[in-house]
Amino acid sequence: MIFPILKSDSVVQVSDKIRFDASSSFVNGAPVTLYEIDPGTGFIDVTADKTLDWAYDLEGDKTVTLRLARGMDVETVTKTVTVLTQAQDRLFSSDKDLVAHEANVYDYLPKGFSSFNHVHRSAQQLILDSLSQRGYYTDSGVPLTKNDLFNVEEVKQWSKFLVLSMIFSNAQNEVGDFFAQKSQTYKELSERSAARAFITLDPNQSGTPE
């Protein structure tokens, strides 16, 4: 049997690189002879390295298909990737905010990515989760979303330092090394920024602070 496994981020910005990885796929019996990935424009042979780097020029939900073949034996698997514009993504910080503190930050960019937007997105969710844990909800009792914040500049410092902390945490090689110390420093800065943050809400997206 053939077991296709396709890995990638589920959200990406327009023009941002995304990597589709089929290397975890496996088989019982004879090896697969053909790996193909269709990012939504047609199948591309990726047998050589089993990955495909791609960038979308339009927003929307994209259906991505991995197809593995061994003679007449063919198996496919699909996944949906949501492509957002910068405005739709509404991240709370950006790479240029990171470079202001760490000029060489791109040295730590993982393969398959052209920006740290995936980390900014993780920080965004952590901040929203933190606000929910502190008891901030809409009038109807629904947890806040990124669009409920009237001005993302109010959480930029919090997000920026949180992203830097995560980047250096991922670069850590051993407990207490240089990267671990940098991660801890930025974690403390993010916590201070969170404590000082004054957040204005607009839960009905009327354009007027509530």
The CATH label, of 1.10.3720.10, 2.60.40.10, 3.40.50.300, 1.10.490.10, for the domain at 2-84 is 2.60.40.10
CA distance 73 to 188: 54
H or E element at residue 37: strand 34-38
Q: What is the pLDDT of residues 145-171, one digit of tens each?
A: 999 999 999 999 999 999 999 999 999
CA distance 56 to 43: 15
Average of per-residue pLDDT values in the chain: 94
Q: Is 135 exposed, middle or buried (0-12, 13-18, 19+ CB in 10 A)?
A: exposed
* pLDDT range class, residue 123, cuts 50, 70, 90: very high
Q: Is residue 191 within 8 Å of residue 149, measured between CB atoms? A: no
Domain ranges of the chain: 2-84, 90-196
**Mean pLDDT, rounded, for 2-15:** 97
* pLDDT range class, residue 22, cuts 50, 70, 90: very high
Which residues contact residue 12 at a Cβ distance below 8 angstroms, ignoring those fewer than 6 apart?
18, 56, 81, 82, 83, 84, 117, 118
Q: Is the pLDDT of residue 178 over 80?
A: yes
Residue 139 region, left (φ>0) first, then alpha (ψ -120 to 50), else beta? Answer: alpha
CA distances (Å), 203 to each of 101, 151, 164, 198, in order?
32, 12, 29, 16
* Cβ count near 199 (within 10 Å): 17
Q: What is the pLDDT of residues 58-109, one digit of tens each?
A: 999 999 999 999 989 999 999 999 999 999 999 999 999 999 999 999 999 9
**Mean pLDDT, rounded, for 135-153:** 87
CA distance 52 to 38: 9
